[in-house]
Structure 1
Amino acid sequence: MTLHDDSPLAPSPLPPSHATSDGETIIKLFQTLGRTTIWKSIANISFHGDTFEPEGLVRLGPDRYVVSCGEYTEHTQKYPHPINGTDRTPGKGFAHLMTYNGKGERIADATITREGEEEYHNGGIDYDGRWIWGTVAQYRPNSTAYVYKADPYSLRPQTVLRYTDHLGGIVHDTTKNRLTTLNWGSRNATVWTLKDGVAADCSTERPQSTTRNPSYFVDYQDCKWLGRSKFYSGASVMLCSGVTALDGGYSLGGIALVHTETMQPLAEVPIMLKSALGVRMTQNPMDVSVENGRLRFYWLPDQRNSTLYIYEAEPNSPFEYGGG
């Protein structure tokens, strides 16, 4: 780990998770969003230094942000045809966890993989009030990955379980002590039941269930667990942000409330915002808060030279005009 100053990596005490604080309010406010929602820019905060490819974002209050990212030293190359179930070379790189303050100044950069390891792609991250949960995978589909949890005060990861597929997004249901992990393109969701915070055998653990994602609206990149929602009759709900590439090179962005165990979308909203560099705002990292009764989103879409874009949803009716 490289420390850029002697500031603590996380506030003390740690802030509560969404599930134990504002999760239900986020769910209710999400119902007011739609295609006509007006997004008000609150702040653009430049993050210092090379951010590589940011993948996940956790906001630990207004003055601490943790970012998961991947540094790629050798890019993957597509095979002319699939080999051993995957479509490209493994490439090379490193997974990082970085901590920033509210001014965008880097406090710490922890490299959490070793040189030569094929698993170096750091996916989306979630925060449960005590641990940051993440995944490190090969940077290709149909490969291998592992789940880790990291202490916000040290950024030191502990391997929780391993799996024979790519894993990206992750959320932790603290009520039933379950993890939901998403594979390449979030096409499948695997649900895992933990005991004492770890899998019984992290080398051979099998998921409790695997569910196909029925929605092709966007591929979820980063998700946050909001709790078991009264609004949705006790369903386990996560908020996800993502993009999908359409024919002609068009990138569609969106946010969604999703049932963590069935992958049924509960509410979906397209996001048309772009960064100053022309990248769809929902490209990768995302977190959310409620400020003065309004939803506030935090997005970090750009690679290498990243700006944290903070937007607030203006109150409005979700009614949409359509053809008829």
Structure 2
Amino acid sequence: MQFRARLILATVSTVAYCAAVAALNVTIYQNTSFAPAELPVPYAASQCDEIVELFGRLGRTTVWNLVEKVHFEGDTYEPEGIVRIGDDRYFVSAGEYTNKTVKYGNNVVINGTDRTAGSGFAHMIVFDGQGNRIADASLTERGAIEYHNGGIDYDGEFIWATIAQYRPNSTATLMRIDPRTLNPTTILHVADHEGGVVHDTLTNKIVMLNWGSRNASTWKTHVKPAPYPSFTSFHVTRNPSYYIDYQDCKFLGHPKAFDYRGTMICSGVTSLNSTITIGGVALVDMETMIPVEEVPITISSDLGAAITTNPMDVAVVDGRLRFYFLPDQHNSTLYVYEAEPNSPFEF
């Protein structure tokens, strides 16, 4: 029988719009650790040059082999990001929407955005390698309008996350989360929706991606942020690519193949119309936002979602490039795919 308890770790008064540490509620489903006592290095950054070399072999004719399907237990809400910490732990960021946003109307913009705020909860959910639910942390209070927990990154010590209003041109809070305790720390406040974050551990830069990943905001960790809830200023870089909107990204490193420039790997989708969605993965220069390499992936989940919708992690296993995708809302299955090494190489 699973151990199940309700643990209230902290309670601090806050205002409704604040997604900072307010009341962190953790529901524990298994009497086991959230993460390994000795945190491992992130797979992506520790295998940077291998991933870049294998990614360069991908193309439209690449054969993708399904290695594993793992059903994740319970309601996963809308999964936005995933990190794999060790061989037996998956951390999933998700948004629970208790009061949906509502569009103001055709071409109607109020205070810079096109819809109501809605409300909900930002979650960080922990699963083991068999998809069993270990813990579910609610990172926001009831009524908070910053509740969209976007794409996440793991740097070997913390999970980085942005908890934002679920509408463009709004606000977000940058947080870091200790995977051993799920204890979150508020870092700074942003005057825009931010739906993803990457930590360059070599230059100590944080890159956040806004709605549709149209802009990247960069903050250097040695620069003191404005006191919360004041907004911190950033260097903003426009994304020149409109192929896909990046949903979840991971810091790769400074690969030799790209002249040692900071590089992240991103997955995402874009809708061409109400019936056509395209997906893909890309290696992106973190300074310029230029995709240095990109490839489409046309696989769908069993429920019909593009496989690159939202959560993605990556690793090299036995010399093969392996992706971890979690595309479906609420009833989620992890799809693990490897690129067939003998696929025809496209020139």
TM-score by length of 1: 0.96
Residue correspondences, number? 318
Q: Deviations over 1:227-276 (max 9, x none)?
A: 11111001100000000000252010000000111100000000100000
Q: How does 1:157-236 map to 2 (within 5 A)?
A: 157-195=184-222, 199=225, 201-202=227-228, 203-207=230-234, 209-236=235-262
Amino acid at match of 2:37: S
Partner-residue secondary structure (3-state), 2:51: helix
1:253 aligns with 2:279: yes
Partner residue, 1:130: 157
Amino acid at match of 2:218: V
Deviation at 1:105, TM superposition (A): 0.2
Deviation at 1:84, TM superposition (A): 0.8
For residues 147 and 45 of structure 2, the distance between their equivalents in structure 1, rounded to whole angstroms, comes to 32
For residues 207 and 200 of structure 2, the distance between their equivalents in structure 1, rounded to whole angstroms, comes to 8
Deviation at 1:176, TM superposition (A): 1.1
For residues 205 and 322 of structure 2, the distance between their equivalents in structure 1, rounded to whole angstroms, comes to 27
Name which of 330, 336, 340 aligns with 1:304: 330
CA RMSD of aligned residues (A): 1.3
1:279 aligns with 2:305: yes
Deviation at 1:20, TM superposition (A): 4.8
Deviation at 1:15, TM superposition (A): 1.1
Partner-residue secondary structure (3-state), 1:308: strand
Deviation at 1:12, TM superposition (A): 2.5
Deviation at 1:205, TM superposition (A): 2.0
Partner-residue secondary structure (3-state), 1:29: helix
For residues 160 and 33 of structure 1, the distance between their equivalents in structure 2, rounded to whole angstroms, comes to 37
Q: Deviations over 1:273-307 (max 9, x none)?
A: 00000000001000011001000100000000000
Deviation at 1:221, TM superposition (A): 0.2
For residues 280 and 297 of structure 2, the distance between their equivalents in structure 1, rounded to whole angstroms, comes to 5
Amino acid at match of 1:45: V
Q: How does 1:24-173 map to 2 (within 5 A)?
A: 24-80=49-105, 81-173=108-200
For residues 20 and 246 of structure 1, the distance between their equivalents in structure 2, rounded to whole angstroms, comes to 32
Partner-residue secondary structure (3-state), 2:257: coil
1:12 aligns with 2:34: no
Deviation at 1:18, TM superposition (A): 3.9
For residues 87 and 299 of structure 2, the distance between their equivalents in structure 1, rounded to whole angstroms, comes to 23
For residues 248 and 58 of structure 1, the distance between their equivalents in structure 2, rounded to whole angstroms, comes to 30
For residues 263 and 18 of structure 1, the distance between their equivalents in structure 2, rounded to whole angstroms, comes to 22
For residues 34 and 196 of structure 2, the distance between their equivalents in structure 1, rounded to whole angstroms, comes to 23
For residues 9 and 233 of structure 1, the distance between their equivalents in structure 2, rounded to whole angstroms, comes to 37
305 and 19 in structure 1: CA distance in 2 versus 1, 3 angstrom threshold: closer
- Where in structure 1 are there 5+ consecutive unaligned residues? none
Partner residue, 2:269: 243
Flag as ranges the 4+ runs of structure 1 deviating above 6 A: none
Partner-residue secondary structure (3-state), 2:195: coil
Deviation at 1:19, TM superposition (A): 5.8
For residues 62 and 304 of structure 1, the distance between their equivalents in structure 2, rounded to whole angstroms, comes to 24
Greater shift, 155-164 or 123-132, is seen at 155-164
Question: CA contact under 8 A between 1:31 and 1:318: conserved in structure 2?
Answer: no
Deviation at 1:17, TM superposition (A): 2.1
Amino acid at match of 1:98: I
For residues 44 and 60 of structure 2, the distance between their equivalents in structure 1, rounded to whole angstroms, comes to 26
